[in-house]
């Protein structure tokens, strides 16, 4: 078939019955733009050059047929387009990604083609705008004429089409060249997942047709300077202005922010482009943008106009800065308040598909967890993520990736410097107005050379990028930026909870830019979506066997280390169900400890913890490691352990000194709190008990009591912490502990793991009898409430509540909760969908499903 043509009318009009412009199955009613404006190319026809040939003059001819070509979304790498056209079985399942795709298909260029109708008018100018590069390189053609080429995943480009447009049918064609992340400035997933078979070649950012009069405006930006007392802000508005004509032009360029109007005269020579700077605007009592834990997220709207050309952007008024502590560690401040980064490493979709609804669900997970920052290492997402982060109050730390062309500085050519600079300029222009930007890493595992650093700094400063610029995510330095103040010492694989309370390697001191405890095992229902029954069974029967849904890198290829620790600490699994229930406890306690340790030691004056990036928060493709929620968006022990630690008002236990700590993430003290701490044997005998009244400090933590060392008893015991205010329980935290602690051997630490020479004895949990937990449930706006009541005579450990039959994610206020005999708790479940109450299903460590 041939696609209905796009239509360029007085300025530009699209009149077509169109396929969806994104990978989500959203019907597109067609687009019409009357008069000057910008229209995104909504979809493409795609074909391999092995069939279509390499002749761009022929393929871009309006008379060239495209029978047999595939219709693909607007933002679609080659693999994404093939998947959208159902050319493969489910590539998430088993080894299909390895076995069902022929990598040789992507050793040749692929073509993207789009026809449209144009009605060129005198005085109207049309440009083709690429909002990012074509991976790895693009060769662009219109109506048989070669427009030029692009190189690299990120640089923006514009091509003037005005003299090339024909009345009636036109054809645009783009040839995408094969990609190699070690040769090209592209996007790679390193050891996060298997590589995409096409190395993400193709179109991955929007391509637009922009029509205006002789003068156009673009890239409006606002530089904000906020007073320390937040009483006023000074705004400097800038915008790019371009004369498309062959005659001098004089224009009044105007800018509007709310009721404020600014104007600036500009004179442009033929073909000239410049940046217009407006007089400074003072805003008294500004509505200040805050991270979610500190406050609200108001946004302002800026609109800049010159004649019939208009460009708009949202922005927020906030101040972000960083400094080094006396210990040389990186510390961030937001609106002049110390900001503990409680973050996670972000993974884009493996095939770089545009999936706005899925993206929104993932950002809701981030907000629900209490994670306040995402690190984007070399996978700079499109505008949807930036806008969601602004709206949800989630800070972002973008930057370039390690281990590929980006950090092979000694191999760079002059063209490479140009591409790297253009890439940084493009990303800076996209990021500069977003209040969620906390900083930018110009290096990841390494530090840039002097010339590379200067290339990056020139691009960032030219774009008025005012957030902190960071030399590296590792403990490296550059000539101008100096020391990074970061550490990247691991771990990346399993370690026990008490590891995080050490002040060495990845423990809670300073800023750890990527650390985590490796294997994260989804629940059985989720495992069945991407593993065969045999692969699932191998998880517990053959943990030394390399697994395709682990990493190819040898140290991450098996579950042997995790399974060995699980057996020594919790007891040898008897079957799959036993393995999974113990794995959930291990994931829960490990992730909780990581965030709790950093939260506690943020207040340590001698060696403060200033930030931690959990590695990683999500997956590009289904894996058995490095995530807080799995690729199906399902939440298990890994999620709820982290969520428990990240509650805004929280009571927690310290593995190193038995202290009980109150932590608050807000900006005001919370007085009048009662903390109750009880240590019991697994059969309920009280070993120790204390109650105190305390105040949770603002944006800090404080030790409020210390439990005594357990004597006269050996084995597994439980600690229950309750936080109450005016008789109402506002936090509950339960630990399963041992009188014999895990013993770490730091002398044998590697970059990925610290060995243990002795294990905590948690095998007593196996003696817990099965319990009876009753529930009642009812619908509430946006979801349901479920009340749990332990009617048995023993502790019900890690009760997991689920709703059957809900399509899409369910976000629970808490889960994997533990109740003593006679205790109750009410959980809230948020989900989309109407109708009646879904069936409630309960499971847990000693709770029947």
Q: What is the enclosing helix (H) or strand (E) of 678?
A: strand 670-681
pLDDT in tens, 688-713: 999 999 999 999 999 999 999 999 89
User: What is the distance between the alpha carbons of residues 91 and 82, in angstroms, rounded to a whole number?
Assistant: 11
Q: Domain of 67: which CATH number?
A: 2.60.120.260
Residue 318 has pLDDT above 90, yes or no: yes
Kindly state whether residue 328 falls inside one of the protein's structural domains. no
Q: Is the pLDDT of residue 164 over 60?
A: yes
Other beta carbons within 10 angstroms of residue 48's beta carbon come to: 17
With CA atoms as reference, report the closest residue to 795 among 767, 776, 775.
Answer: 767
Contacts of 746 (CB under 8 A, 6+ apart): 502, 504, 505, 754
User: Per residue in 502-512, pLDDT tens?
Assistant: 999 999 999 99
Residues 464-478: what's their mean pLDDT?
98
Is a pLDDT exceeding 70 seen at residue 34? no
Confirm if 633 and 362 have CB atoms less than 8 A apart: yes
* 268 and 177 in a common domain: no
Q: Are the beta carbons of 710 and 679 closer than 8 angstroms?
A: yes
Residue 671, CA atoms < 13 Å, CB-side half-sphere = 0
User: Which residue would you say has higher pLDDT here, 132 or 432?
Assistant: 432
What does the alpha-carbon distance between residue 560 and residue 567 come to, in Å, rounded to a whole number? 10
Edge-to-edge order in the sheet of strand 330-334: 320-324, 330-334, 337-339
Domain membership flag for residue 320:
no
Are residue 311 and residue 419 in the same domain, yes or no?
Answer: no
At residue 4 the predicted structure's pLDDT band, cuts being 50, 70 and 90, is very low
Look at residue 342 and tell me if it is in a domain.
no
Is 358 part of any domain?
Answer: no
Tell which of 642, 665, 683 closes a domain: 642
Question: Are 252 and 390 found together in one domain?
Answer: no
- What is the total count of domains within the chain? 5
Residue 484, class by beta-carbon neighbours within 10 Å (0-12 exposed, 13-18 middle, 19+ buried)?
A: buried
Give the residue numbers marked as catalytic.
Answer: 445, 514
Same domain for 200 and 164: yes
Model confidence pLDDT, tens digit, residues 74-98: 999 999 999 999 999 999 999 999 9
Does one domain contain both 28 and 106?
yes
- pLDDT at residue 761 greater than cutoff 90: yes
Instruction: Read off the CATH number of the domain in which 311 is found.
Output: 2.60.40.10
Let me know: does 792 contact 820? Beta carbons within 8 Å: no
In terms of pLDDT, which residue wins out, 582 or 380? 582
Structural domain ending residue among the three candidates 193, 212, 231:
212
The packing angle between helices 560-570 and 576-601, to 10°, is 90
If phi > 0 it is left, if psi is from -120 to 50 it is alpha, else beta; for residue 403 that is: left
Same domain, 89 and 189: yes
| Residue finishing a domain among 196, 212, 228 | 212
**Which of 462, 532, 559, 553 is CA-nearest to residue 751?**
553
Cβ count near 716 (within 10 Å): 23
Residues 626 and 683 grouped into a single domain? no
Q: What is the pLDDT of residues 539-578, one digit of tens each?
A: 999 999 999 999 988 899 999 999 999 999 999 999 999 9
CA nearest 621: which of 752, 531, 536?
531
Q: Which of 457, 477, 466 is nearest to 439 (CA)?
A: 466
Same domain, 203 and 290: no
User: Is the distance from CB of 43 to CB of 219 less than 8 angstroms?
Assistant: no
Residue 115 in domain: yes
> Cα separation of 14 and 34, whole Å?
9
Break the chain down into helix, strand, coil percent, rounded to 5. 20, 35, 45
Residue 579: closest CA among 590, 597, 564, 595: 564
Residue 712 lies in a domain: yes
Those residues whose C-beta lies under 8 Å from the C-beta of residue 644, and which sit 6 or more positions away, are 588, 592, 650, 733, 814
Any domain includes 330: no
* Residue 367 pLDDT: 98
Statement to judge: residues 58 and 130 lie in one domain: yes
Shared-domain flag, residues 591 and 631:
yes
pLDDT at 29 over 50: no
**Residue 836, domain extent:** 773-843
491 and 425 together in one domain = yes
pLDDT tens sequence across 585-635: 999 999 999 999 999 999 999 999 999 999 999 999 999 999 999 999 999
Q: Is 849 part of a structural domain of the chain?
A: no
- Band (pLDDT 50/70/90 cuts) for residue 30 is very low
Mean pLDDT of the chain: 94
Residue 343 CB-half CA count within 13 A: 30
Query: Do 740 and 795 share a structural domain?
Result: no
């Amino acid at each position: 078939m041939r696609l209905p043509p796009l239509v360029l009318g007085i300025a530009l009009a699209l009149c077509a019955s169109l396929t969806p412009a994104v990978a989500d199955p959203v019907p597109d009613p067609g687009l019409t733009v009357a008069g000057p404006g910008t229209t995104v190319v909504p979809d493409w026809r795609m074909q391999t050059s092995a069939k279509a040939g390499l002749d761009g003059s022929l393929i871009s001819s309006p008379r060239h047929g495209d029978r047999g070509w595939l219709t693909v979304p607007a933002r679609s790498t080659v693999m994404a387009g093939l998947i959208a056209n159902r050319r493969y079985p489910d590539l998430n399942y088993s080894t299909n990604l390895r076995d069902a795709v022929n990598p040789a298909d992507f050793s040749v260029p692929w073509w993207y083609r789009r026809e449209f109708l144009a009605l060129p008018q005198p005085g109207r100018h049309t440009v083709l705008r690429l909002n990012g590069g074509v991976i790895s390189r693009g060769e662009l053609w219109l109506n048989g004429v070669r427009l030029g080429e692009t190189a690299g995943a990120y640089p923006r480009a514009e091509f003037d089409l005005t003299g090339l447009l024909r009345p009636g049918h036109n054809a645009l064609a783009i040839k995408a060249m094969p990609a190699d992340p070690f040769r090209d400035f592209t996007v790679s997933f390193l050891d996060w997942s298997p590589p995409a078979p096409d190395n993400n070649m193709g179109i991955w950012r929007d391509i637009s047709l922009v029509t205006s009069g002789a003068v156009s405006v673009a890239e409006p930006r606002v530089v904000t300077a906020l007073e320390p007392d937040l009483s006023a802000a000074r705004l400097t508005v800038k915008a790019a202005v371009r004369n498309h004509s062959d005659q001098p032009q004089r224009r009044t360029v105007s800018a509007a922010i709310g009721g404020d109007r600014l104007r600036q005269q500009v004179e442009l020579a033929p073909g000239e482009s410049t940046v217009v700077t407006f007089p400074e605007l003072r805003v008294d009592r500004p509505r200040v943008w805050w991270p979610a834990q500190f406050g609200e997220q108001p946004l302002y709207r800026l609109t800049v106009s010159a004649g019939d050309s208009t460009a708009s952007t949202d922005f927020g008024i906030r101040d972000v800065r960083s400094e080094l502590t006396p210990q040389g560690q990186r510390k961030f401040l937001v609106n002049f308040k110390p900001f503990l980064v409680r973050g996670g490493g972000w993974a884009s979709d493996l095939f770089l598909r545009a999936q706005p609804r899925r993206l929104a669900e993932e950002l809701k997970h981030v907000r629900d967890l209490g994670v306040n920052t995402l690190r984007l290492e070399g996978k700079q997402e499109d505008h949807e993520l930036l806008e969601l982060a602004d709206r949800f109050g989630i800070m972002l730390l973008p930057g370039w990736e390690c281990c590929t062309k980006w950090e092979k500085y000694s191999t760079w050519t002059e063209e490479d410097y140009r591409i790297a600079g253009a890439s940084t300029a493009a990303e800076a222009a996209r990021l500069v107005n977003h209040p969620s930007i906390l900083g930018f890493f110009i290096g990841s595992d390494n530090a840039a050379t002097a010339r590379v650093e200067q290339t990056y700094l020139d691009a960032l400063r030219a774009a008025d990028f005012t957030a902190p610029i960071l030399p590296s995510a590792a403990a490296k330095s550059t000539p101008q930026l100096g020391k990074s103040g970061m550490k990247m010492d691991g771990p990346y694989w399993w370690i026990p909870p008490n590891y995080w309370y050490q002040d060495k390697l990845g423990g809670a001191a300073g800023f750890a830019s990527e650390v985590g405890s490796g294997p994260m095992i989804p629940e059985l229902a989720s495992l069945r979506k991407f593993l065969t029954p045999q692969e699932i069974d191998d998880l517990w029967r053959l943990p030394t066997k390399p697994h395709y849904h682990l990493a190819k890198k040898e140290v991450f290829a098996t579950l042997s280390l995790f399974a060995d620790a699980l057996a020594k600490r919790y007891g040898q699994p008897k079957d799959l169900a036993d393995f999974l229930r113990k794995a959930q406890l291990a994931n829960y306690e490990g992730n909780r400890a990581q965030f709790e340790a950093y939260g506690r030691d943020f207040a340590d004056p001698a060696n403060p913890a200033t930030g931690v990036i959990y590695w990683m928060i999500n997956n590009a493709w289904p894996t058995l490691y490095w995530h807080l929620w799995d690729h199906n968006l399902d939440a298990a022990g890994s999620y709820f352990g982290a969520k428990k630690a990240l509650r805004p008002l929280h009571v927690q236990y310290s593995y190193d000194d038995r202290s009980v700590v109150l932590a608050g993430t807000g900006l005001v003290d919370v007085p009048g709190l009662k903390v109750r701490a009880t240590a019991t044997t697994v059969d309920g005998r009280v070993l120790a008990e204390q109650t105190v009244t305390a105040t949770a400090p603002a944006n800090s933590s404080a030790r409020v009591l210390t439990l005594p060392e357990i004597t006269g008893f050996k084995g597994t015991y439980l600690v229950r912490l309750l936080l109450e205010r005016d008789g109402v329980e506002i936090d509950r935290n339960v630990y399963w502990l041992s009188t014999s602690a895990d013993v770490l051997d730091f002398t044998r630490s590697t970059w990925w793991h610290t060995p243990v020479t002795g294990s905590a004895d948690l095998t007593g949990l196996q003696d817990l009898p099965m319990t009876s937990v009753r529930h009642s449930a009812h619908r509430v706006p946006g979801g349901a409430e479920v009340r749990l009541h332990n009617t048995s005579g023993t502790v019900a450990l890690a009760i997991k509540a689920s709703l059957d039959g809900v399509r899409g994610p369910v976000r629970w206020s808490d889960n994997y909760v533990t109740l003593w005999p006679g205790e109750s708790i009410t959980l809230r479940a948020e989900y989309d969908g109407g109708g009646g109450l879904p069936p409630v299903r309960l499971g847990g460590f000693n709770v029947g499903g």
